[in-house]
Amino acid sequence: MTLFRFACALALAAPCGLVHAVEIDGRIDPAEWQDARHVTDFRKTQPLTGEPGSLPTEAWILATPDGLAIAFRATHPASVPRTRQKVQRDFDAQVDRVNAFIDFDGDGRTGYAFTVSSTGGIADEIITNENQFSNDWDGQWRHAVSEDEQGWSVELLIPWHTAPMRDGTDGQRTLKVFLARVIGSTGERMAWPQASFERPRFLSDFAPVTVPRYDQSLLAITPYVSGLYDNVGGRSDFNAGGDLFWKPNGRFQLTATLKPDFGQVEADDLVVNFSATETFISDKRPFFTENQGIFELTTPSDDSQQLYTRRVGSTGDITAAVKLNGSLGKVNYGLFSADEDGATGRSYHALRVVRDFETQNVGAMLTRVDDPWRDRDATVLGVDHNWRPTARWNVRTRLLGSRIEQAGNEVDDVGATVWADYEMDHGWRQQWIAMHFGNDLQLNDFGYLSRNSTNYLHWEIRKRFTDLPEDSRYSSKDWRWRVSSSHNNHGDKLNDQFRVSRQGQLRNGSYEYGQINVNSAGLSDMLLRGNGVVRMPANFNTYFEYERPRKGDWAHETEMEVVSGGLAGNRKLGGGVGYTGTYFINDAFSLYGGFYALYTPDWLVWQREDLVGGFKRRQMSLDAGVDWVMSDRHELRVKMQAIALDARVQDAWRFDPAGHALAASDTVEDFSVRNLGFQVRYRYELAPLSYLYVVYARGGYEQRTGTDGVDNLLQDSFRLRDDEQLVVKLSYRFEI
């Protein structure tokens, strides 16, 4: 007995009970899962009725020394169509699948989502701010699927080194878990517990599960080498670097990178942006997505965040970066530091702490950017507070302050936001948001903020309809009505807005969304880039989209919009229409193609000073590609995007100090834009998180005076060749 207890103590201080390892083979052996928590009460959460799921589903949860093991048994009779589609990693196709979402600390701050399709495809995501998902993160975990006439089964194993986590107490750890199953042919989601990401609270509503406390250490080194041949410049380039991941115990984790590539194997979507607002682009570099959730500090303003990792590497190659995550008691902390090389290189630093309480948590983050090239130092302090006083309320508060020191001058300013969600009875909800950003609040050295100088209020009421007749096309509808008012920090009204929107889930698995925005007259203080304001008349815009998942050999997406705007207001109407169709040659091979045509009769484009051109814009975008999942390890992706824009000048305007438009005699010329992005990417998975990429990419951008018609521009775009590259990249993860 003494020897047995000694062995138990060596098993990472687990409680003295023999826990067998689970063989992850997709076949649920009752003997392996006999000590697991058995879950059978799966309820409909899409539509959000709370009724029992239409098909029986079971799950098992078992903590083992190797990780958290979860199994699903999905009964699937022949009368319900099964989806056989092969999917690439991080898929978003509507197919038969199961989800396991884990909050390892149980504090409602960060969750990890693990998805497995019935054909063995996987996706993984990080969840922050209760219900915001990011699929940029790729974790290392095991899975297996099996199928029979009665249904299909999934087993997965999530290692304890997946995320830093607290110690727990008395040899136990309390996680929070959400398990779900989706029927691909109908879109029905059934889950345990009855939580939904369509609600303001999602992470906080996961079910607590107490398990033995296991620790798992890991040291992983992932070196990479890449070679690039530039067919335009006739030169070759060779790069090498690597990532390091070290987790000695559950409380501490270190990630480091040396000369990371900037994602030559990824292809961002093409964007043509003539506005004063920067385009937000997500980050897919492994170092910057690995356990990044601790640094999440956002506001209700679109995509705003205090730490935006795409800044790092934007002014020079990254020499090195390091990131620490860990916990001390109930306090979680994170440390981030990165350096760019070259004359214009910057240094980026961030310190983050979070403290969890029973119904609330509070955190703070300090970021600093040292920019010697511009003689500029930027420091931002953010404080975030999340409060859940009852099951109905969710209140989130953010305070931000920035200090910019440049060339001997110092500028300080602050911002604050609060948004509150209240869940009522019978599907009714309310939301209140208030935002204030000072004139000189500056986050964009390290973060992302679309605009400062903002005072914004809105109230929204929502109603979810789920008790629809059986003969209705819809399984649920979600209506929202919103009123808002926005002013800058000088007291100028930017606009008032009334919005009504409806989201519909159809019984055949399709999805609809439509909205109408009615905007009052107001001022634009960004169009002239600091050279004055522009008085804008009242306008409106409408938008509608419809997605039908694969039925037979086809899947379809359509979207359309009708808009007014510019100085013409409601006197001139424009709009757009788009369609994308996907044809499945078989379950593993598909082709897609689509277009979006846009017409804007009064498009305002800043020229210089307070001079603005009013253009008639015609724009056409094409999007096409191939997805071929050759096997579980081999995949081929072809992606092509082209944009043609034809802008013909109608008016030239200058503006008086009050913002009234004055006809100008300045010469403003027609112009056109053509843009191309084309990529062929082959990926072979040598081992978990170890890949060989072979990528051919070609593209270009040209803006010129004069116009030649959208059709000719689109044809010309295929001849663009600013860049033409062949990249071969090999990365291999060594675990020690």
Per-residue pLDDT tens digits for 213-222: 998 999 999 9
Q: Tokens at residue 144, please?
A: 């297996």
Distance CA(617)–CA(649), nearest Å, equals: 9
pLDDT of 10 higher than 70: no
pLDDT of residue 11: 39
Structure tokens at 308: 């935006």
Per residue in 111-127, pLDDT tens? 999 999 999 999 999 99
How do residues 414-457 score in pLDDT, each as one tens digit? 999 999 999 999 999 999 999 999 999 999 999 999 999 999 99
Secondary structure of residue 531 in the 3-state scheme: coil
* pTM greater than 0.85 (yes/no): yes
The structure tokens 């210089």 sit at 608
> Sign of dihedral through CA atoms 371, 375, 377, 378?
negative
Mean pLDDT (whole number) for 589-596: 98
Rounded CA gap, 540 and 575, in Å? Answer: 11
pLDDT for the residue 19: 55
Tell me, what's the pLDDT at 65?
94
Q: What are phi and psi of 375, to 5 degrees?
A: 50, 50
Average pLDDT of the segment spanning 37-42:
97
Contact between 183 and 54 (Cβ < 8 Å): yes
In percent, the amount of the chain with pLDDT more than 70 equals 97
Across the chain, which distance is largest between two alpha carbons, in Å?
97
Which pair of structure tokens corresponds to residue 593? 């193609």
Average confidence (pLDDT) over 43-65: 96
Burial class (CB in 10 A: 0-12, 13-18, 19+), 188: buried
pLDDT of 736 over the 80 cut: yes
Q: Pick the more confident residue, 680 or 259.
A: 680
- For residue 30, whether the previous peptide bond is cis, meaning omega lies within 30 degrees of 0, is no
The tokens of 273 are what?
A: 């942006």
Token output for 405? 């020191």
Q: Is the pLDDT of residue 479 over 50?
A: yes
3-class DSSP state of 581: strand
How confident is the model over 263-269, as a mean pLDDT? 75
In which band, very low, low, confident or very high, does the pLDDT at 31 lie, cut at 50, 70 and 90? very high
Among residues 156, 76, 151, 73, which one has the least CA distance to residue 121? 156
Lowest mean pLDDT across 20-24, 253-257, 653-657: 20-24
Cα–Cα dist 66/14, whole Å? 12
Q: Are 652 and 672 in contact (CB under 8 A)?
A: no
Residue 7 burial by Cβ neighbours in a 10 Å radius (0-12, 13-18, 19+): exposed
Distance CA 114, CA 99 (A): 6
- Going by C-alpha positions, the residue among 530, 524, 560, 542 that lies closest to residue 661 is 524
End-to-end CA distance of the chain: 33
Indicate whether 16 pLDDT > 70. no
With cut-offs at 50, 70 and 90, classify the pLDDT of residue 302.
confident
pLDDT at residue 448, rounded to an integer: 97
> What is d(CA 2, CA 8) in angstroms, rounded to the nearest whole number?
10
For 417, counting Cβ atoms within 10 Å of its Cβ (0-12 exposed, 13-18 middle, 19+ buried), the class is buried
Q: Are 236 and 215 in contact (CB under 8 A)?
A: no
Q: Do 201 and 423 meet the contact criterion of CB atoms below 8 Å apart?
A: yes
Residue 639 corresponds to which amino acid? K
- Asked if 701 and 270 count as a contact pair (C-beta separation under 8 A), the reply is no
What is the dotted CATH code of the domain comprising 19-218?
Answer: 2.60.40.1190
Fill in the DSSP letter of residue 21: P
Coil, helix or strand at residue 205: helix
Quote the DSSP letter at residue 586.
S
Distance (Å, whole) CA 283 – CA 259: 16
Q: Give DSSP secondary structure letters for 75-141.
A: E--TTSPPP-----TT-----SEEEEEEESSSSSSEEEEEEEETTS-EEEEEEETTTEEE-------
Residue with tokens 């055949």: 508
Query: Which has more confidence, 694 or 14?
Result: 694
Q: Is the pLDDT of residue 15 over 80?
A: no
Sketch the domain layout of the chain as residue ranges: 19-218, 526-729
Q: Residue 127 half-sphere exposure, CB side, CA atoms within 13 Å?
A: 27
| H/E run at residue 645 | strand 634-655
How many whole angstroms separate alpha carbon 736 and alpha carbon 729? 23
pLDDT digits (tens, 9 = 90+) for 127-171: 988 888 888 888 899 999 999 999 999 999 999 999 888 888 888
- Per-residue tokens: 450: 């679309």
pLDDT tens for each residue of 337-389: 999 999 999 999 999 999 988 889 999 999 999 999 999 999 999 999 999 99
d(CA 430, CA 463): 9
Q: Are 71 and 59 in contact (CB under 8 A)?
A: yes
C-alpha 296/C-alpha 304 separation (Å) is 10
Query: Is omega for the bond preceding 47 within 30 degrees of 0, making it cis?
Result: yes
What mean pLDDT comes out for the span 244-256? 91
Instruction: State the pairing for strand pair 690-705/347-356.
Output: unpaired
* Residue 1 pLDDT level (bands cut at 50, 70, 90): very low
Q: Distance between CA 15 and CA 449 in Å, rounded?
A: 49
- Angstrom CA distances, 475 to 41, 191, 289, 319, 501, stand at 21, 17, 36, 53, 17
Task: Count the helices and strands in the chain (H runs, E runs).
Answer: 3, 41
Confidence of residue 238 (pLDDT cuts 50, 70, 90): very high
Sign of CA dihedral 285, 291, 292, 296: positive
Separation between Cα atoms, residue 202 and residue 478, nearest integer Å: 17
**529 to each of 308, 404, 437, 532, how far by Cα in Å?**
23, 20, 18, 8
**Residue 584 confidence (pLDDT) above 90:** yes
SS3 160: helix
Average pLDDT in the chain:
93
